[in-house]
A and B are shown apart, each in its own frame.
Chain A
Amino acid sequence: MDVVDVLFVIGRVLAVFVLLLVVTILNVWLERKILADMQNRVGPDRAGPWGILQTVADGLKLFFKEQITPRKVEYGLYVLAPFLAVIPAFLMFMVVPFGRPITIGGREVPLQGADLNIGLLFILAMSSIAVYAVVLAGWSSGSKYPLLGGVRATAQAISYEAAMGIAMVSVVMFSATTGPDGTLSLAAIVERQAGTYDMTIPFLQWADFIPRWNLWPQFVAFVIFLIAIVAETNRAPFDLVEAEQELVGGFHTEYSGMRFAMYFLAEYVNIFSMSAICATLFLGGWTGPTFDGQIPALFSALLPFVWFLIKTYAIIFLFFWIRATLPRMRYDQLMQLGWKRLIPGALIWLMVSTVVIAFRQFGPPWS
């Protein structure tokens, strides 16, 4: 490893950082626009063309606002909590590959913050730390509404993280069968989804364009994972943590200015990261036709990134669509869905896929 390698690493990290900031700015605007369209409204359209700079304007406004610190807060934790929300949100995306590795000057550069071999564990760890931000914010604010929001966040995160983790396990198990060994690295999981099914059954030959995504064999896990990430990012209909109508904004009631903006930023970065992870695990990440040799090499290198964005945005759109459609759940319904449906469902699916995989690997036990 020499200086150039170090520079490349710094460049990758910066690229991820900038990418996340840009998509956050776009996503806030996109969400408001889509929600508006789903409610027969126009939505933000003043700042810039189609109002695309609205988030920049809002960010500037928040930047110049006073940061009010209520008298009863636990100061240290109160100041720390927003950082605990933002930093894991950014770190989480670091392990997600967002393009095919490219070669610059003879060096292989993976388009990824860092290719950890414990990628999925890292993601789970980061999303657990993000819960601390909400809990600590709720507790250190020294006020009732944030406290309620924080308590809700704890319960919700515990319930849904379990389902999310179990859904991930079945994906990891499945992808172990498509490669030489089991892996938690997201880059490897993506590469194993490349290509299309080669249909051996004669009358199904026309279907050989179907990509080999984990989505098809792991569809149940996909649905469970999708529900769990909506709950994990505290989005409607699982936004009991914020619940504007009951909790006046929940855990961030007592935050203002940049500290509030950090929560906002973290929420949208989380949405993007979680959707990207979902696309990576189930929709084949950046894989897709690149037409190597048929079009200029630059486009071939860019196309995987485009596929990645398209898949991620499909899931983000689903997030927004669901938010525009469903009312907030009641608290007991939330707990029931988590503990009585998702976790048992995920466990049963885990067992089913274990059995199927074992049969395919080792044959039936009676043979």
Chain B
Amino acid sequence: MGVLSEFFKGLRVTGRVLVDTVTGDGLVTTKYPEEFRQKPQRFHGRHVLNRYPDGMEKCIGCELCAGACPARCIYVRGADNPPDEPVAPGERFGYVYEINMLRCIFCGLCVEACPTEAITMSSLFEMSTWNREDAIYTKDELLMRPDGSVPHMFPDDPLARHKELETADGWLRATAPSGVAAYEGVQGWQGTPGRANWDPEPDQEARDA
């Protein structure tokens, strides 16, 4: 009776899973809004515009990100820095910066294109809005505050998890800002966006020792 033994074998599998799940260690899903999983390090979430540790904006308004964007969803206008009160180091700064999150495909090409690491991606993906206008993120929502925290569209929403906004994306970890494959002697990646106050990577020998 091959069929019967297979039948009971099947019942045993589901029965075992039932017991496992009820006793608690078989569960593979999480009760999402209350519990959530650790996201991968290189998760592509909402964008953040970063600042230097001294509070200067990193974006220089070069529009390279807008050029690289395959979805054409970034709109940047640069403007000359006011000489007495510069917003960003160098000549120009990003005067207008908008991303249409409805069109963004979260490919991360803008992050790759940016010469100053001004734009990076966080781990936040809860970006539902009540209307289309709210889905267009302006500089006010994208730019981190001088104290290093990042604004949220709906800060009081139960799903607003501000910590997710402050984990930087892994693209920066995977590449050396200097373009040198070995990290030696250059400032590397750190776990929070923007505040470029980390130590340069030690050289290979020093690390192995």
Contacts and interface: CB of A to CB of B under 8 A. Distances in A.
Interface string A50-72: 00000000000000000000000
A42 B11 CA distance: 20
Contact of B14 (A41, A42, A45, A325): A325
Contact of A41 (B10, B13, B15, B29): B29
Interface in A24-66: 34, 36-42, 45
B18 to A, nearest CB: 5
B181 interface: no
Identify whether the interface residues of A are mostly helix, strand, loop, or mixed: helix
A321 interface: yes
B27 interface: yes
B17 interface: yes
B27 A38 contact: no
A358 B14 CA distance: 43
Contacts of A322: 11
B17 A37 contact: yes
5 contacts: A37-B21, A40-B28, A41-B29, A42-B31, A322-B11
Interface string B19-51: 011100011110100000000000000000000
B7 interface: yes
A34 B29 contact: no
B31 A34 contact: no
Contacts of B13: 325
Interface residues of A, number: 14
Contact of B11 (A34, A40, A41, A325): A325
A326 interface: yes
Given A37-B22, A40-B28, A321 B17 contact: no
Give the size range of B's interface with the partner: 10 to 19
Contacts, number: 39
Identify whether the interface residues of B are mostly helix, strand, loop, or mixed: helix
Nearest to B27: A40
Contacts of B27: 40-42
A230 to B, nearest CB: 12
A321 B15 contact: yes
A151 interface: no
Residue with the greatest number of chain A CB neighbours at <10 A, chosen from B18, B28, B29, B31: B18
Interface in B70-84: none
Interface in A143-174: none
Contacts of B10: 325-326
Contacts of A42: 27, 29, 31
A335 to B, nearest CB: 16
Q: Which 8 A-B pairs have the closest CB atoms?
A: A37-B21, A325-B10, A40-B28, A38-B14, A325-B14, A324-B14, A38-B18, A37-B18
A326 B7 CA distance: 8
Given A34-B18, A326-B10, A40 B31 contact: no
Given A34-B18, A325-B13, A40 B7 contact: no
Contacts of A36: 21
Nearest to A46: B31
A287 B21 CA distance: 34
B43 to A, nearest CB: 23
A326 B10 CA distance: 7
A38 B7 contact: no
Given A40-B17, A42-B27, A326-B10, 18 more contacts: A36-B21, A37-B21, A37-B22, A38-B14, A38-B15, A38-B18, A40-B21, A40-B27, A41-B21, A41-B27, A41-B28, A41-B29, A42-B29, A45-B31, A321-B11, A324-B14, A325-B7, A326-B7
Nearest to A341: B3
B135 to A, nearest CB: 27
A225 B88 CA distance: 80
A38 B14 CA distance: 5
A37 B17 CA distance: 7
A41 B29 CA distance: 6
B137 to A, nearest CB: 30
Residue with the greatest number of chain A CB neighbours at <10 A, chosen from B14, B26, B28, B31: B14
B11 A38 contact: no
Nearest to B10: A325
Interface string A111-145: 00000000000000000000000000000000000
Contacts of B29: 40-42
B14 A321 contact: yes
A326 B14 CA distance: 10
Nearest to B21: A37
